[in-house]
Structure 1
Amino acid sequence: MASSSSLPQNTITDILSRLPVKSLTRFKSVSKNWANLTSNPAFIAAHLRRSSPDPYLLIRRYHSQSGWDYGIWLITDPTLNFGTQLLRIPLEDSLPRFPKIVGSVDGLVCLDISPCYASDFLMWNPGTKQFKHLPLPLITSSRDNPIWMVFYGFGFDSFNNDYKLLRIVSFKGNDESPFLRVEVYSWREGVWKEIEERFELAQLCGGQDGVVVDGSLNWAAIGLQRFSDRKVVVSFDMGREVFKTVPLPPVTRHANVKVVSYMGLLAVAVYPLVFAASGTNMNRFEFWVLSDCEDGTKRWTNLVVIENFSKSLVPVGTWRDREVVFKYMGVRDRENQFQLCGELGASQLKKLKRR
C-alpha cells in the first residue's frame, strides 16, 4: 500500500473527506499537515457535503430561577421518534454563566461564554469534541463610554471560504440614536478587525443573534427617519462586509417580528404583541417571504394569515429551512415544549389558532 507521502495532496484530501468524524479525530495525530487539513474550512465543507444530509437541532435549556438543570441538547429529528443527547460543554466548570448559542454552521458551534456584553466566545465542534477559545474582541466598554447593547451573528462566508463572527456594539449617544461600532472575527485569519461599514436609518431590536440567509446575517430593526412608520431588516453581507436595510411590510408596525430563513429566502414571522393597546395590537399570525420578481426586483409575498392567533405561541425559527418552530410561552402544562408546522398553508396552521 502506498504511503501518504507518495499520494497527491488532492487524493489524500478526497479520501479523508469520505471518512466518519471519529476516524478524522484519530487521524489528526498522524501529522501536523493532516491536523491542519482537517481543520480547514474548505475541507470541512467538502466533508459535510458527503455526510448525512439530515440536520440536527440544538436546544439550550436552563432553569433561570435555580441556575441548575442546564445543558445543550442535540435532537436528531423532532418530526419522528427522535432521540436526544446531552452535550458536554468545554470548560463547563469554569464558565461564569451557562453559554448561549450564537449560531451553528456546518457542525461548528459558536458559543457566547461572557458574563455580559458578548465579550468572550468559544468555537466548538461537538462531533470531534474540539474547541477553540477566541481572542477577546477589540471593542470594549469603559466608564466614559459604556456599552449599551451588543448584537452578534455567526455564519459561513462562501465567497471567501471563511467562518465569520460579527459583533455590533451599540453605545448610548447624546441624542436618541445610539452610536455603533462593528467588528468581525475571521476563522481563517484568527483575528478580530473593526470595519468602518455602518448602517443608517434603523435601530436594531428584538433578538441579539443574527439569522443567516443566503450568505448574509439579518436582524429586525426599528426604522428611523424615512422608515419611521415601519420596521425593517438590517442585513450584513458576509462576503462583501457591507450592510443594507430592507423595509418590511407595513403590517409589522404593531406586532412582533421574527426574522427567519425559509427555502433559502429571507422571511419574517409576524405575531401578536403581548403588551399593547387593544386598539392597535395585531391578534393574528402572518408569514411573509421576500421573493424574486420577473423584472429582477424583490417584493414581500404573504403566505399565511391566521386570525385570533394564540399569544402563548412564539415563533423561534425554522427547521430544515421549511418548517416553522413555535415555542409555548407562559402555559404551565406546556412548558419547555416546541411545536413544528410543516406546510405553510391555512389548513396546516389551523391547529395553532387560539382555542
Structure 2
Amino acid sequence: MNSCSGRRPRIMASSLSLSHDTISDILSRLPVKSLTRFKSVSKNWAHLTSVPAFISAHLRRSSPEPSLLIRRYNTQSGWGFGIGLITNPTQNYRSQLLDIPLLESLLRFPKIVGSVDGLVCLDVSPCYASDFVLWNPGTKQFKRLPFPLITSTRSNPIWLVFVGFGFDSFNNDYKLVRIVSFRGNDVSPFLRVEVYSWREGVWKEIVESFNLAVLCGGQDGVVVDGCLNWAAIGLQRSADRIVISFDMGTEVFKTIPLPPVTRYGNMKVMSYMGLLAVAVYPLVFAANTNNMNRFEFWVLSDCEDGMKHWTNVVVMENFSKSLVPMGTWRDRELVIKHMGDRDRENHPSLLLFDPVDDGTKRLPVDCVDFCLQGYSYVESLVSVNGRSKDGSGA
C-alpha cells in the first residue's frame, strides 16, 4: 500500500508536466505585475521572463491593447500635477495615478518626452532639457541617464532645445535625440545634435544637416516608421512650414514639405496608422476670426503615382471653442482637448475621435482645464538598463 501510494503522485506529476514552450506561452499572456511576483518564486521562471525572446513575445501580446498615459499640469497655480494611466479608454474606463520616481528631489514636475514599448522617457531638468530618466512604470524600474554632452556656456548660451524618444528597429535600440539651438551672431541660429543609445548607455554627438530651418517650440519629436519628426519653419524664400525628420537607424536628417494650409493656424505633428500626420487647428487668441472654427487633419500617404502626397482626412467646422490635439491612442483615435464654451459655462473636456467612423467619445478625466500631454502606453518587461554584454536586456 505504501509503495503504491508513493508512486502515484510521481506518475501524476509526470503526466501533468508542461513543456518549456507551453509554459513560456502561458506566462507571456500575463500582466507584468504577476510576472514580477513569479520572479521571486521560481528561479527558472525568473530566468525565462528575462530573456529577450520572452520579453519580445510578451510585448507583442501587450501592444494591441495600449493604455492612455496622461500628464496634466497647471503652470499658473503650481498645483495639481500628475501622470495618470487610463486603461480601456473606449470601454470600461479605469484610471490610476502613477508614482513618479525621484519626484521629491526634483526642482520641477517631470515632462514626458516619449512612451515606447513600456519605457517612458522623462525630462526632469529645470531648463534646457538636460537631465533625463528612463522609467518602466510596469516593473517600477527607473534609471537616471548620464548628463548630455552639449551644454550652455556664458560665451555660447543655449537658445532652445528639442528632444524626442523612439525605437530604432534597425539596431534594436531605444534612442533619445537632443537638438540644441544656439543663437549665433547673425540672424540664423546654429544647431548641434546628440543621441543617447539605450544599448550603449552613452551620448554621442552627430553632424546635423538642416541649419536652414528653425524648429517650432513646445513640441517633442513624434515617432513615425522609425523616424522622429518635429515641426519647423524654413529659412529660405517662402519660410514655409516643414517637418524635420530624423531616421533613427541611419541617423540622417531630411526635410518634408507640409500642405499650405499649415500657414494659417497652430500645427501639431502626429502619427496616424503608421503614417506621418499633421493637425491644423485655430489660434486660440487670434485677433481676426478667419478659420477660427476649423480643425483639419492631414495624412502623408502613398498615392497611385508612387509619390507621397498629403491627404485631408478630417475637417471639422462651426464648433464654439477650439479643439486642441494632444496625440493619438492606438495610432488611430485622436486625443483632443475641447476647450468648451464660456457662454454656456461648459468646462473643457477630453475627447477620443476616430476619423475612420467619425466616432467621438468623451473621457471622464478630471482637471481637463489643465494643460495636457497624451501618449499610448503598453506594459512591458523591457529593462531601463539597456542590453548587457550577454544580450539579455535584463
Q: Which amino acid in structure 2 is aligned with residue 211 of structure 1? A: V
1:217 corresponds, among 219, 223, 228, to 228
Secondary structure of 2:59's aligned partner:
helix
Aligned length: 342
Partner of 2:245: 235
Which residue number corresponds to residue 295 of structure 1?
A: 305
CA distance in 2, matches of 1:37, 1:243: 37
Query: TM-score, structure 1 length as denominator?
Result: 0.86
Query: Greater shift after overlay, 273-282 or 254-263?
Result: 273-282
C-alpha deviations, 1:301-329, integer Å up to 9, x for none?
11222334544321111121111111134
Residue 213 of structure 2 corresponds to which residue in structure 1? 202
In structure 2, what is the Cα distance between the partners aligned to 1:17 and 1:78? 23
Cα separation, 2, equivalents of 1:295 and 1:138? 44
**1:340 partnered with 2:357:** no
User: Is 1:325 matched up with 2:335?
Assistant: yes
Q: Which runs of 5+ in 1 are unaligned?
A: none
Shift in Å, 1:19: 5.1
Report deviation, 1:156.
0.6
Which residue, out of 50, 55, 59, partners 1:48? 59
TM-score (norm 2): 0.78
Q: Report the structure number with the largest CA radius of gyration.
A: 2
Residue 214 to residue 126, structure 1, CA distance change in 2 (3 Å): same
The one-character-per-residue Cα deviations of 1:253-285 (angstroms, maximum 9, x if unpaired) are 121111111111101111112344528656422
> By how many angstroms is 1:60 displaced?
1.1
Shifted more, 335-344 versus 162-171: the winner is 335-344
Task: Give the Å deviation of 1:122.
Answer: 0.4
Q: Give the AA of the match of 2:146.
A: P
Q: Is the 8 A contact 2:268 2:280 kept in 1?
A: yes
Where structure 2 has 5 or more consecutive residues not aligned to the other structure, the ranges are 1-12, 363-394
Deviations 1:77-105 (A, max 9, x none): 22223100110011111111110111100
Letter in 2 for 1:340: L
Note closer, same or farther for the CA distance 1:245–1:86 as it changes in structure 2 (3 Å cut).
Answer: same
Query: In 2, Cα distance between the equivalents of 1:39 and 1:198?
Result: 39
CA deviation vs aligned residue, 1:114-170 (integer Å, no higher than 9, x gap): 111110000101100110110001111111111111100001111111100000011
Q: CA RMSD in A?
A: 3.1
- Maintained 8 Å contact 2:224/2:274: yes
* 171, 180, 186: which one aligns with 1:175: 186
CA distance in 2, matches of 1:325, 1:19: 28
Task: Work out the percentage of aligned pairs sharing the same amino acid.
Answer: 74
Per the alignment, in what secondary structure is the counterpart of residue 135 of structure 2? strand
1: CA distance between counterparts of 2:302 and 2:173?
Answer: 27
Shift in alpha-carbon separation, 1:119–1:52, aligned structure 2, 3 A: closer
Q: 1:187 to 1:292 in 2, by over 3 A?
A: same
Name the counterpart of 2:4.
Answer: none
* 1:88–1:334 Cα change, 3 Å: farther
Amino acid at match of 1:337: S
Distance 2:54 2:211 in 1: 38
Q: Out of 83, 94, 108, which is 2:119 matched to?
A: 108
- Cα deviation digits, residues 42-89 of structure 1 (max 9, x gap): 754332113362111111123333323221100002222310011001
Cα distance in structure 2, aligned partners of 1:194 and 1:251: 35
SS where residue 225 of structure 1 aligns?
Answer: coil
Q: CA deviation at 1:13?
A: 7.8
What residue in structure 2 maps to residue 84 of structure 1?
95
The aligned amino acid for 1:338 is L
Q: Establish whether residue 148 from structure 1 lines up as the match of residue 159 from structure 2.
A: yes
Counterpart amino acid of 1:193?
K
Q: Which amino acid aligns with 1:341?
A: F
Q: From 264, 268, 275, give the equivalent of 1:265.
A: 275
Deviating runs (4+, > 4 A) in structure 1? Answer: 10-19, 26-31, 33-37, 279-283, 330-336
CA distance in 2, matches of 1:128, 1:39: 15
